[in-house]
């Protein structure tokens, strides 16, 4: 299967916004990747600081550019309480 997500599409529905992970997401990535309750379910190294989160985001961008994976963010639209979900393929 050929994966091509460059440029990464943005999709909008009435309630959701599907977009590429951005460096502005570093705080949310750090929170998720440093929480032991979350890490017990995923096989990823713990983020110890925001630089670890930025390195992870850069890795995701590189993998997308090289068609090795897809990683996206689902956000609720502004009129709905914020809900972020990160999905990787």
Return the closest-CA partner of residue 84 out of 71, 66, 69. Answer: 71
pLDDT tens-digit map of 29-45? 999 999 999 899 988 89
Is the predicted pLDDT of residue 3 greater than 80, yes or no?
no
Measured between alpha carbons, how far is 27 from 30 in angstroms, rounded to an integer?
Answer: 5
The Cβ-side half-sphere exposure at 27, using a 13 Å CA radius, reads: 1
Q: Domains of the chain, with CATH numbers?
A: 12-88 (3.40.630.30)
- pLDDT computed for residue 8 by the predictor: 84
Sign of CA dihedral 42, 8, 61, 17: negative
- Answer with the residue of higher pLDDT: 73 or 2: 73
pLDDT tens-digit map of 31-86? 999 999 989 998 889 999 999 999 999 999 999 888 888 888 888 877 766 555 55
């Amino acid at each position: 299967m050929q994966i091509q997500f460059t440029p990464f599409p943005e999709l909008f529905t009435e309630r959701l916004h599907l977009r590429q992970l951005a460096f502005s997401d570093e705080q949310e990535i750090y929170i998720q990747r440093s929480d032991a309750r979350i890490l017990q379910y995923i096989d990823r190294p713990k983020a110890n600081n925001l630089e670890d989160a930025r390195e992870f985001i850069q890795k995701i961008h590189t993998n997308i550019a090289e068609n090795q994976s897809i990683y996206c963010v689902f956000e609720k639209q502004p009129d709905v309480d914020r809900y972020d979900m990160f999905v990787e393929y």
